[in-house]
Amino acid sequence: MNKELSCFKAYDVRGELGVNFNSDICYVIGCAFAEIIDPKVVILGRDVRESSPELSNSLSKGLMDQGVNVYDIGIAGTEEVYWATTHFKACGGIMVTASHNPISFNGLKMVKSQSQPLDESEFINIKKTAEKKIFSIKKNKGLLFDKCSESKIAYVNKLLTFIDVKLLPTLNIVINSGNGALGPTFDHFEKKLLKKTKNLNFIKCQHNPDPSFPNGIPNPLLKENHQINKNLVISNKADIGIAFDGDFDRCFFFDEFGVFVPGEYIVGLLAESFLLKEPGSKIIHDARVVWNIQDIVKNNNGFSIASVTGHAFIKKSMRENNAIYGGEMSAHHYFRDFSYCDSGMIPWLLIVELMGKTGKKLSELIKDRIEKFPSSGEINFTISQPKKIFEKVLKYFDGQYLSYDDFDGLSLVFKDWRFNLRSSNTEPLVRLNVESKNGSEFLNQCVTELTEILVN
């Protein structure tokens, strides 16, 4: 019986080195990707983890042994692999990364032609094929091509198409790369940008890639990392701070006071940015926190469409609706003109451009939105039997709510507030998000009431 590869998760491959993930596994995944996707060319990139070069080499060997040509773009962000897959008209792309996972982990993110996510059957078949470990080396093996420089140039040029450089205001900007993969790519981008404008001054922190992650694993979403970024903004007298995760497909915002800006409000600002450019466009968003986003989209003559949470669902909905932008409160942002893929670099460029258009600071852009639609942020509860707790919540609020849906978890809507409960796919957790139209004090009362139901 073939040993199951437990490193295959819901959407990607992720495992602990020496436990359920290693270079031999990468080799058979490379062979299996070649067999199932049948590509002629595959883009290959990697993050800065110490294990990534060896894993990348094994993956590359597996692909080439099956006759696939590999375009190696070296140390890069996940979005660079995505864009290179489209730019080079490749048949697929694979990024070796564990993003913000612990230092002992690594993994793979995979796409097919036009940077599309693998569908469920393709992903499952790659897993099953890799588990068999039966591959014959092709007579005409594939070749390895160095595309590092060409890929960087194409990526940087693409980023600049999303903004009007003349609208960028004079700002001091903290860029915290977290010692991840961003540093070298950002230097390329900065050099090109500063040829077009002198308005932006970048204060680069934790900038050099370092596989030991001396400042901790780059995960700016963690509250313990908020203070670090706040200090960087304040000590450098910056107008805005932007912090990135390890493979920089997500960025996180801190205003001029160093205050963390929750992701749902960034989705609203990015929706506004695109609707100012293309009125009447469609905006996709996840279903956890919706009122602020829907209000902004409506006020800017756009169309908002809720999607199930998760990159595959968001991208599918965007393609089906030809949506210009899709956003999740978890800081994943997707762009029609970036092959419907997520990016951590495009969002901050658009926010800075919006600051220039409006003449407002970041804190001013979100102040009214937070006051009008306060949000609890995501609160996690350890619950082993989510179905029972959902039934308990429904029973408790029976006859009180205006509407109910189970589109993505459980959502109940009341006159002045709304909440969404979702089960984690990977952990015994239930995730709660609450939003209000009646101020933060009322919001806190609602959170307290729900917490008592969930924990008792």
Q: Which domains does the chain have, with CATH numbers?
A: 13-149 (3.40.120.10), 262-342 (3.40.120.10), 379-455 (3.30.310.50)
Active site annotation includes 60:
no
Inter-residue contact 174 to 234 (CB < 8 Å): no
Q: Using the 8-state DSSP alphabet, how is residue 450 labeled?
A: H
Give the per-residue pLDDT at 1.
43
How many other C-beta atoms lie within 10 A of the C-beta of residue 408? 18
Give the per-residue pLDDT at 290.
98
Q: Which residues touch 254 (CB under 8 Å, ≥6 apart)?
A: 174, 226, 229, 230, 233, 240, 241, 242, 243, 260, 261
Give the per-residue pLDDT at 10.
85
Q: Can you say whether residue 324 is alpha, beta or left, with left for phi > 0 and alpha for psi between -120 and 50 degrees?
A: alpha
Select which of 56, 99, 343, 376 is catalytic.
Answer: 99
Q: Using the 8-state DSSP alphabet, how is residue 161 labeled?
A: G
Find the angle CA(356)-CA(186)-CA(272) to the nearest 5 degrees. 30
* Helix-, strand-, coil-residue percentages of the chain, each rounded to 5: 40, 25, 35
pLDDT by residue for the chain (456 residues), tens only, comes to 468 999 999 889 999 999 999 999 999 999 999 999 999 999 999 999 999 999 999 999 999 999 999 999 999 999 999 999 999 999 999 999 999 999 999 999 999 999 999 999 999 999 999 999 999 999 999 999 999 999 999 999 999 999 999 999 999 999 999 999 999 999 999 999 999 999 999 999 999 999 999 999 999 988 899 999 999 999 999 999 999 999 999 999 999 999 999 999 999 999 999 999 999 999 999 999 999 999 999 999 999 999 999 999 999 999 999 999 999 999 999 999 999 999 999 999 999 999 999 999 999 999 999 999 999 999 999 998 999 999 999 999 999 999 999 999 999 999 999 999 999 876 789 999 999 999 999 999 999 999 999 998
Q: What is the Cβ-side half-sphere exposure of residue 294, based on CA atoms within 13 angstroms?
A: 12
Find the angle CA(128)-CA(88)-CA(62) to the nearest 5 degrees. 30
Inter-residue contact 370 to 443 (CB < 8 Å): no
Q: Which residues touch 66 (CB under 8 Å, ≥6 apart)?
A: 30, 31, 34, 35, 135, 137, 138, 142
Q: What is the Cβ-side half-sphere exposure of residue 456, based on CA atoms within 13 angstroms?
A: 8
User: Three-class SS of residue 445?
Assistant: helix
Give the per-residue pLDDT at 424.
85
| CA gap 378, 435 in Å, rounded | 11
